[in-house]
Chains A and B, each alone.
Chain A
Amino acid sequence: MTTPRLHAALLALVVSLISTIAMATGPSYQVKVDGLACPFCAYGIEKQLNKIAGVEVLETDIEGGRVIVTMDDGQTLDESQVEQAVDRAGFTMKGFEPLDTADSQ
């Protein structure tokens, strides 16, 4: 195989891998938490949410008082489990809603 063709094949492989990883991401949810104010509490909520099976990525917005939870492909997030996790962290859940992919970007 010539070098340009090898490069093209490698590029196609990388693109394919990235696409597969992107496609493998499951649904996202927005969790609103009352009193989410500093890293000591934000990390506590992340620590509890991470214990829920299927959670892949957590993004915390301390100033906005919300956590975006992204699940593994094929997994969904149960609101009552989130409520319990937030409660164990010492906080009160104020909102829970599934996000469209576009919203979570």
Chain B
Amino acid sequence: MTTRKLLKISAMAVSLVVLLALVAWVMFVPQATGNGYVFIEAWGSHGSEPGQFDDPTGIAVTEDEVFVADSRNGRIQVFDHEGQFKRAFGTPGKAIGELGRPMNLTVHDGELYVPEYMNDRIQIFSLEGEPRRMIGTPGDGPGEFNAPGGVAVAANGEVFVADFYNHRVQQLSADGEFVCQWGKTGETGHQAGEFTYPTDVMLAENETLYVADGYGNRIQAFNRRGEFLYKWGGPLALGIYGPFNGWFSTVTGLTVGPANNILAADFHNDRIQVFTPQGAFLNTFGETGDKPGQFNNPIAMDVAPNGTVFVADFQNDRIEKWRPSVEPVR
């Protein structure tokens, strides 16, 4: 084979690779559309004093208050929307009212639902901090948990739990009786309806169930009858992680925002990603760092009724506050 032929074949091969890369980029890396978000303020630092955090791992927002799971301090801290400390409840432990690493929080019908990673239960408090009841015990049987990471509550009171180490999502009645589950207990998987360490769950207004498939690096959606709807995150949502638009590097929290858009905490990519309810990528906010408007492993977020977003910035031990931008993303 002559040198000229070799060069020709090499050039064709390189062209083909470039072409395939371009096609893959167009297919699997969507461009930002819609409005973005603007940083407003942040509060908190490392410690155990009021207003300080030692691993903020979850957040829930009401019309006038922000509840933060201050995990290693074994407590819930409550702030107003400007970050002024109001009260705290819980201490580390296993007894009623004590907390073993509280995770992704949910407020439903005037109560705070707290998944406890170490105690394998969901503990329910009044918003003032009074412990009311508990759901679940340790284990891998129906209605049992192994490190629950997130919880969602339907209008009828049914509870959905991301059962992290059991690689499943459980649906329970309001008093904790097992109804059904998604995923195979104790088995990871990348097919539809299978999970790899699910970290959080969320119910949209129409009661579509969204699951943050944590180390599966994707989000899966199911209808109210439990049927699989769609999944997204990286190429074909097969578990491939990455830094591109619409990809994840460990998705740790979910919430619903204006227009029923889905916000997802993209932990290792130091950003929050925003999607349509069907999973089409819209935009992203945040970048790596410890300066205002930057994140060092954002783990969870929630949206106030006025659209303001509060983010638990895990490694920076603080809460960041953002608002929707009126400027279109260019």
Interface residues of A (CB under 8 A from B): 37-40, 43-44, 46-47, 62-63, 90
Q: Which residues of B contact A39 (CB under 8 A)?
A: 55, 57, 71, 101, 299, 314
B101 touches A38 (CB 8 A): no
Q: For A44, give its contact among B57, B147, B314 (CB under 8 Å).
A: B147
Rounded to whole Å, the gap between the CB of B275 and the closest CB of chain A is 21
Q: Could you give, for residues 109-136 of chain B, a 1 whenever the CB lies within 8 Å of some chain A CB and a 0 otherwise?
A: 0000000011000000000000000000
B314 touches A40 (CB 8 A): no
Known A-B contacts: A38-B297, A39-B101, A46-B118. Give 15 more (CB < 8 A).
Answer: A37-B268, A38-B252, A38-B268, A39-B57, A39-B299, A40-B164, A40-B197, A40-B252, A43-B101, A43-B117, A43-B118, A43-B147, A44-B147, A62-B315, A90-B165
* Whole-angstrom CA separation of A43 from B297 in the bound complex: 16
Q: Which residues of B contact A62 (CB under 8 A)?
A: 315
Interface residues of B (CB under 8 A from A): 55, 57, 71, 101, 117-118, 147, 149, 164-165, 197, 199, 214, 250, 252, 267-268, 297, 299, 314-315
B71 touches A40 (CB 8 A): no
CB closest residue in chain A, given B268: A37
Q: Which residues of B contact A43 (CB under 8 A)?
A: 71, 101, 117-118, 147
Given that A38-B267, A39-B299 are contacting pairs, would A44 and B55 also be in contact in the complex, using a CB cutoff of 8 Å?
no
Q: Which residues of A contact B314 (CB under 8 A)?
A: 38-39
* Whole-angstrom CA separation of A43 from B164 in the bound complex: 11
CB closest residue in chain A, given B297: A38
* Whole-angstrom CA separation of A43 from B149 in the bound complex: 11
* Whole-angstrom CA separation of A58 from B149 in the bound complex: 21
Rounded to whole Å, the gap between the CB of A103 and the closest CB of chain B is 23
Rounded to whole Å, the gap between the CB of B107 and the closest CB of chain A is 21
* Whole-angstrom CA separation of A39 from B57 in the bound complex: 8
Q: Which residues of A contact B147 (CB under 8 A)?
A: 40, 43-44, 47
Q: Which residues of B contact A46 (CB under 8 A)?
A: 118
**4 shortest A-B CB distances, which residue pairs?**
A43-B117, A43-B101, A39-B57, A38-B267
A47 touches B117 (CB 8 A): yes
